A = this chain, B = another copy of it.
Amino acid sequence: MAMIETPYLLFLGDAPDALAAKVAQGIKDWRPEYAVGQFRMEGCKADLGLTDMTLAEAKAAGCKTLVVGVANRGGVISPAWKKVLVAALEEGFDLASGLHNLLRDEPDLAAVAAATGRKLHDVRVPEVEYPIANGKKRAGKRMLAVGTDCSVGKMYTALCMEKEMRARGMKASFRATGQTGILITGDGVPLDAVIADFMAGSIEYLTPDNDPDHWDLIEGQGSLYHVSYSGVTLALVHGGQPDALVICHEPTRPHMRGLPDYEMPTMEQVRDTALLLARVANPDCVVVGCSVNTQHMPEDEARAYLAEVEARMGLPATDPFRFGAGKLVDALAAV
């Protein structure tokens, strides 16, 4: 993925509600320094609390890229959006989007981008020819978030840890492997769209040699126990060569996401299986803690659950978004 130029003007379009703008919200939450302003069309129901800017104002404020921070309706880029996107290209912005409907597949956007020399970043599609993984040991340290299931909070776990580590003056880089993470940080690998043979290599590419005390915090994908995507997960485990694993879980889920016939594994199963496989690439890998997404539990229940997990697994456990990532970072610092 070629680096997306920052800072951003966040395009909220005609978002019907705040949830539709969650990509923009993620950028504002995790990279506030990139979120210079917002662009809202008539009828937009989302508001990030940023300054509303015209394209000219955003340009004057130094914005380089207009990021489509909103999910579109019906999977198409509407004529109303088009008008803004074309004008943004003419104004000198690059465009970035994680939509299924690719910017590059719109003939008018492609033509104007070519004529103006601007870039269209479709972060669902790899922009790099990744190598085949060579498995060579790299300098620096790496943490990988591995989950009992898809969508249990692996991205938030890594982002929360990065924030805490930076606040402590530690060297840490969140490494995005999905669309939202790529838009948040401006860089990363859209792993689910990479060709099978190059998956592990793309993660080696994403997490190259670094300072000995630098931590890459790698966003996980899928789960070793999710039969639709487990191969993607194993490519992360072997391409990432993690020194440390954090086990991520969402305790209220009735079954594997999208697979009603599949029970959730226990955190113990994920710990043992992930560690067994991770040690193929890095014999020194350890599990440092558990990250539990407690958003569907009241606070007392959440705290009781975390205490139970700590006692059962002998590992620090927290909901890093709700209660802070301190425990996980303490454990990482001790590796």
Give how many copies assemble into the complex: 2
Q: Tell me if A191 is interfacial: C-beta within 8 Å of chain B.
A: yes
Q: Tell me if A200 is interfacial: C-beta within 8 Å of chain B.
A: yes
Q: Tell me if A225 is interfacial: C-beta within 8 Å of chain B.
A: yes
Report the interface size for chain A: residues with CB under 8 A from the other chain: 41
A23-47 with Cβ < 8 A to chain B: none
Partner of A134, one of B199, B228, B273, B281: B228
Bits for A298-326, please: 1 = Cβ < 8 Å to B, else 0.
00000000000000000000000000000
Residues of B within 8 A of A232 (CB): 196-197, 199, 231
CA distance A197 to B231 in the complex (A): 9
Q: Tell me whether B277 and A273 are in contact (CB under 8 A).
A: yes
Residues of B within 8 A of A133 (CB): 227-228
Q: Tell me if A135 is interfacial: C-beta within 8 Å of chain B.
A: yes
**Given the interface contacts A135-B259, A227-B280, A273-B277, does A194 sit within 8 Å of B192 by beta carbon?**
no
Nearest-CB distance from A221 to chain B (Å)? Answer: 9
Residues of B within 8 A of A239 (CB): 227
CA distance A191 to B261 in the complex (A): 25
A49-86 with Cβ < 8 A to chain B: none
Q: Tell me whether A201 and B228 are in contact (CB under 8 A).
A: yes
Nearest-CB distance from A231 to chain B (Å)? Answer: 3
Residues of B within 8 A of A114 (CB): none
Q: Which residues of A contact B (CB under 8 A)?
A: 132-137, 191-197, 199-201, 224-225, 227-235, 237-239, 256, 258-259, 261-262, 265, 273, 276-277, 280-281
6 contacts between A and B (CB under 8 A): A133-B227, A191-B196, A192-B195, A195-B195, A234-B234, A273-B276
